[in-house]
Amino acid sequence: MSIDFAALPSPCYIVDERLLTRNLEILDSVQQRTGCKILLALKGFSMHSVFPLVGKYLYGITSSSLHEARLGYEKMGKEVHAYAPAYVDHEFDELMSYCDHIVFNSFNQWNRYKDRVKNSGKSIECAIRINPEYSEGKTPIYDPCYKHSRLGVTLDSFRPEDLDGIDGLHFHTLCQQNSDTLKRTVQVVEEKFGEHLKKLKWLNMGGGHHITRADYDLDTLVETINYLKDKYDIQVYLEPGEAVALNTGFMVATVLDIVDNGMDIAILDTSAACHMPDVLEMPYRPDVIGAGEPGEFAHTYRFGGLTCLAGDVIGDYSFKEPLKIGDRVVFCDMAIYSMVKTNMFNGVNLPAIATYNEEDGIKVIRQFGFEDYSGRLS
Ligand SMILES: Cc1ncc(COP(=O)(O)O)c(C=O)c1O
């Protein structure tokens, strides 16, 4: 059955639970073949109405803030991990109340908080994030290893004498990458930090593993994890965000007007700035169902958003038939990052959130309104 996009409110994100389940099965196959534990990174996908489904396959979540940790604790109820470049003093006790693992970005942070962890009355495992100073990413804002990066401890700043009480190491250096990049990264991590791994319980290899992409090499991932497990006798964790919900979500929007300024420009009831900020930040051009590259089909349009930002432009697309006011357009791969990064700039409303599965069909879970807009300001 295909989803009847016309039956949704507009704009609306919709996640197809059949596609999500397929991704989760692929991730679980890695867990089965290696004994590694995979966590959902909430920064990439926080749609908590599907956390019960995600929790059937994955071990828990990783969070980057108090609110994410609480969301994972309350809505999934499995392992909760945390990493942030620095923790906020007055939030730390509450953060600990949700967490099973806490990763520190520096030995300063570890030394500042280690007694509070020890006296928390809970068994919380701690780690240091390392910066192996090796990455293959091309986009600087997504590269944690650029020169003078604040993320993770470099070999020069590593303090083996402060490892007492530390259970693991963590690195996150990948972004939408395949397992060949991971394999090369692991070689560098081993050269620089291998002697410490031998004494630790676990290694968390962060996110950025595009495991559920069609051309992802699962065998190299499995070999790499099993190699680490055998050589160092450690538990391996992965914490992908994107790979969990990659290509499982769509956003439906509606054409509000078509104007001409040297080309046809369709103004939609959505916005790059508000509803898909990575289109501007990364930048990238999301796929649209039934549309081609500009000029590929007879009728080309620039898609623009409904904010006043001049650069609120989503991209250029061509169609076989001319578009009309009121037509629906469907953007692909909108579950990850887009949904968590929305904002209400210009007072633009947030897209509704819906799910689809065979049993229940379309379920509109949440619609937003003025209260959501005024509630975040005062
Ligand atoms: C520490 C950490 N873990 C996990 C992730 C998730 O990465 P991705 O969504 O690319 O898999 C990120 C993303 O920035 C991260 O910074």
Does the beta carbon of 45 lie inside 6 Å of ligand 1? no
Cβ-proximal residues to 323 (8 Å cutoff; 6+ apart), any chain: 255, 258, 264, 266, 299, 301, 329
Task: Note whether 365 and 309 are same-domain residues.
Answer: yes
pLDDT tens column, 272-301:
999 999 999 999 999 999 999 999 999 999
- The mean per-residue pLDDT over the stretch 64-80 comes to 98
Is 295 a domain residue?
yes
Angle, in degrees to the nearest 10, between helices 218-232 and 17-34: 40
Look at phi and psi of residue 60 and say left if phi exceeds 0, alpha if psi is from -120 to 50, else beta: left
Does the beta carbon of 44 lie inside 6 Å of ligand 1? yes
Is 29 a domain residue?
no
Beta carbons of 14 and 355 less than 8 angstroms apart: yes
For residue 38, the model assigns a pLDDT of 99
Average pLDDT value over all residues in the chain: 97
Is 70 a domain residue?
yes
Shortest-distance Cα residue to atom 16 of ligand 1: 172
Q: Which atom of ligand 1 is nearest to the CA of 239?
A: 4
Taking alpha carbons only, the member of 29, 31, 13 closest to residue 239 is 31
Task: Note whether 205 and 227 are same-domain residues.
Answer: yes
For residue 369, the model assigns a pLDDT of 98
Place of tokens 């059949």: 18
CA of residue 335 to ligand 1 center, whole Å: 15
Place of tokens 């593993």: 209
For residue 1, the model assigns a pLDDT of 78
CA of residue 5 to ligand 1 center, whole Å: 30
Shortest-distance Cα residue to atom 5 of ligand 1: 207
Is 21 a domain residue?
no
- The mean per-residue pLDDT over the stretch 337-363 comes to 97
Task: Note whether 116 and 213 are same-domain residues.
Answer: yes
Q: Which atom of ligand 1 is nearest to the CA of 129?
A: 1
For residue 138, the model assigns a pLDDT of 80
Out of 181, 185, 239, 341, mutate this one to test ligand 1's pocket (max ligand atoms within 8 Å of CB): namely 239
pLDDT above 70 coverage of the chain, percent: 100
Task: Note whether 171 and 96 are same-domain residues.
Answer: yes
Beta carbons of 356 and 363 less than 8 angstroms apart: yes
Of 187, 213, 245, which closes a domain? 245
CA of residue 177 to ligand 1 center, whole Å: 12
Does the beta carbon of 152 lie inside 6 Å of ligand 1? no
Task: Note whether 349 and 289 are same-domain residues.
Answer: yes
Q: Which atom of ligand 1 is nearest to the CA of 170?
A: 1
Q: Which atom of ligand 1 is nearest to the CA of 241?
A: 9
pLDDT above 90 coverage of the chain, percent: 98
| pLDDT at residue 159 tops 90 | yes
Type of residue found at 179: S
User: Residue 15 phi/psi, 5° resolution?
Assistant: -105, 130
Q: Which atom of ligand 1 is nearest to the CA of 144?
A: 16
Task: Note whether 301 and 217 are same-domain residues.
Answer: no
Of 245, 276, 293, which closes a domain? 245
Range of 356's domain? Answer: 5-13+249-334+342-374
Of 204, 219, 245, which closes a domain? 245
Q: If pLDDT is split at 50, 70 and 90, which confidence band does 140 have?
A: confident
Q: Can you give the CATH number for the domain in which 119 is found?
A: 3.20.20.10
Beta carbons of 8 and 29 less than 8 angstroms apart: no
Does the beta carbon of 79 lie inside 6 Å of ligand 1? no
**What CA–CA distance (Å, rounded) separates 314 from 120?**
48
Task: Note whether 231 and 257 are same-domain residues.
Answer: no
| pLDDT at residue 217 tops 90 | yes
Query: Pairing between strand 12-16 and 249-260?
Result: antiparallel
Task: Note whether 221 and 354 are same-domain residues.
Answer: no
Q: Can you give the CATH number for the domain in which 328 is found?
A: 2.40.37.10
Token pair in block for residue 271: 């916005």
Is 148 a domain residue?
yes
Task: Note whether 163 and 147 are same-domain residues.
Answer: yes
- The mean per-residue pLDDT over the stretch 19-29 comes to 98
Does the beta carbon of 206 lie inside 6 Å of ligand 1? yes
Angle, in degrees to the nearest 10, between helices 179-197 and 218-232: 10
Is 30 a domain residue?
no
The Cβ of residue 1 has, within 10 Å, a number of other Cβ atoms equal to 8
Task: Note whether 228 and 257 are same-domain residues.
Answer: no
| pLDDT at residue 270 tops 90 | yes
Shortest-distance Cα residue to atom 15 of ligand 1: 207
Task: Note whether 43 and 125 are same-domain residues.
Answer: yes
Taking alpha carbons only, the member of 42, 68, 43, 40 closest to residue 54 is 40
For residue 139, the model assigns a pLDDT of 84
Is 134 a domain residue?
yes
> What's the structural domain count of the chain?
2
Task: Note whether 364 and 259 are same-domain residues.
Answer: yes
